[in-house]
Amino acid sequence: MKFVKIRGNMYMNNLHNIYLEKFKTIKEIYQKYDFSTALKNIESDITDIMNFKVTVPLVGGFSTGKSSLINSIVNMELLSTDITPETAVPAEISYGNGSINYCMKDGTVSSCRISEMDSVKISANEVNLIKIHINNEFFAKIPDVKIVDMPGFDSGIEIHNRAINDYLPKSLAYIIAVESTEGTIRASILNFLAELKLNKMPVYIVITKSDKSDSEQIDEFITHIKKLVEQKMDIKNVKVAVTSADDDETDEIKEILLDIQKNSDNIFKDYYDRKLKSYISNLESYLKKQISLPDTNLVQIQEDKKLLEEKISEMQKELANEKNYFSSQAERCIEEIRSKVESELRKSTSVFENIVFQGGNIQEKVNFIVRNTITAGIRESLEPKLQKYISNVSDLISMGDIVSDCSSPLLDKSITDDNEAKRTALQSAVTPVATAIATVVGTLVGGPVGTVIGAITGAFLGSAVNKYSREQEENQKREAASQRVNQIINEVMATVRPQIESVIHEMTARVDNDIDSAFSAKIEIKKKELNDLEANISRSEDEKQIKIDSYNNDLKLIESILAN
């Protein structure tokens, strides 16, 4: 077995090809020694490496020139600019083979070449998402970046939800587009920035249509925008690009995209290095054990098998206790967050009443408060407890801990690497807390809450207020608005706790699944260490030496993977 660099997919980053080969090598070694538990995870990692992209949603108000900007970057009329808010759909653009996939609302996919797209007869109302794989000189420089041209936020609250739900867990940054003549950032975008802040998401700002303003106006606008965004998100030195599709002025936005590509390489390398260390740590433990103890007697092995089973049983009980303790903490967090949501909604009662009194719809504001309060609550209340839980469990199930009080040379932790290294390696096998949170937070207010508010405000409230506006005095109308707002808050709160429970339970289930998988993989290797030492007893000296040579070769191979 040789570790060599392969060319791989022509649309893949060279760094990805290198790591793809590393993981394939690790997979072969795991297969060679029949370690089945971790193989599924390694195969999943290989697939993820082949498809790795960082997502960069391009967000702004309707008709801010986002599509024109992308057309200018790719130097062709790729995206239609003659659309309405009702027909706009997200378009994902990344480096590829020159094809377009139309993902339809009925679940089917229709494909064509980019050169054929003008002849495609598909109604925009039937399309859910467009995926464009462009073979373009500039996109070849950013092969890991997938830009998402989001419909304008004027298209409705669903676009706001989708910009979070579909893309937050997969995004490295968001680019906010603002037209030079707008003078400031729209309220809907400012609310969106507040949500990105809660999720610790970096942002860039692009000022479009700069040809419509003079240089002095642009300079003033940049100063205003930077100050506004930095205050809203509590950040410094936000990058602002000035662009003009009409004048092909795209150098600054290209610099931002190149910067994101560079960051994506660092993130990719850090993430998969940690994965590799986790897999290699297990292999090293096994290989070093076989090399160090080839002549163990059968009685010792059988005694240690029994001892190992006892230790595993003890650990399983302790692990169950840790899970139960964290579960009780999570339940308390659920109630704390629910109370915070109700408190924030009650604080905004007068604002809601004024909107309802004027015949408006409060869905967007309620959505914003509920989602952001839950997100903040998870970050503040649950995240530290989840971090501590992962740390405790990692300490518990590190293999050094299994054998920490053993005198047996077969189970002595001194044979393996230091325990802290193993603990760190195990933690790298668990979904990062930030990722787990981002993945499930995107589901907030996508169903029951939105349905309740939409039904009540869109139908019942509007007609009630209009009726009172015709038949009774202003104080009666305000009383009606107050009653309806109180009803809405009660209806919303009836759905909030189940939703918080669902989000937190899904999050902890993801982490628990990773912990169980890592635990099973380590147990499998520990058992196999003893089984293979037992099998070695019946081998001749020559056969033993051949085995040791093979173990040493594989040990050098996996060490070279980390070194390169």
Both tokens of 297, joined, read: 């007697």
For residue 19, the SS3 value is: helix
Cross-strand bridge partners of residue 174: 203
Do residues 381 and 336 make contact, with C-beta atoms less than 8 angstroms apart? yes
d(CA 63, CA 242): 17
User: Domains in the chain, start-ordered, CATH in brackets?
Assistant: 54-249 (3.40.50.300), 297-536 (no CATH)
How many C-beta atoms lie closer than 10 Å to residue 455's C-beta? 13
Do residues 234 and 197 make contact, with C-beta atoms less than 8 angstroms apart? yes
Q: Which residues contact 188 (CB under 8 A, 6 or more apart)?
A: 61, 153, 154, 160, 364
What sign results for the dihedral spanned by CA atoms 227, 228, 231, 233? negative
Angle between helices 251-292 and 14-32 (to 10 degrees): 20
| Structure letter (DSSP) for residue 214 | -
How many C-beta atoms lie closer than 10 Å to residue 459's C-beta? 10
pTM comes to 0.71
Q: Report pLDDT digits (tens) over 124-148.
A: 778 888 899 999 899 999 999 999 9
For residue 255, the model assigns a pLDDT of: 93
Do residues 558 and 284 make contact, with C-beta atoms less than 8 angstroms apart? yes
73 sits in which H/E element = helix 66-74
- Summarize the confidence of residues 476-487 as an average pLDDT: 87
| 551 vs 475: which has the higher pLDDT | 551
For residue 116, the model assigns a pLDDT of: 85
- Rounded to a whole number of angstroms, the CA Rg of the chain reads 29
Least confident among 58-67, 242-251, 295-304, 448-457: 448-457
d(CA 466, CA 323): 54
For residue 409, the model assigns a pLDDT of: 47
pLDDT band at residue 337 under the 50/70/90 scheme: very high
What sign results for the dihedral spanned by CA atoms 524, 526, 529, 534? negative
Residue % of the chain over a pLDDT of 90:
24
| Structure letter (DSSP) for residue 461 | I
Q: Is the pLDDT assigned to residue 15 strictly greater than 50?
A: yes
Angle between helices 448-455 and 363-377 (to 10 degrees): 160
Do residues 368 and 345 make contact, with C-beta atoms less than 8 angstroms apart? no
Q: Is the pLDDT assigned to residue 8 strictly greater than 50?
A: no
Residue % of the chain over a pLDDT of 70:
79
E strands of 190-287, at which residues? Answer: 203-208, 240-242
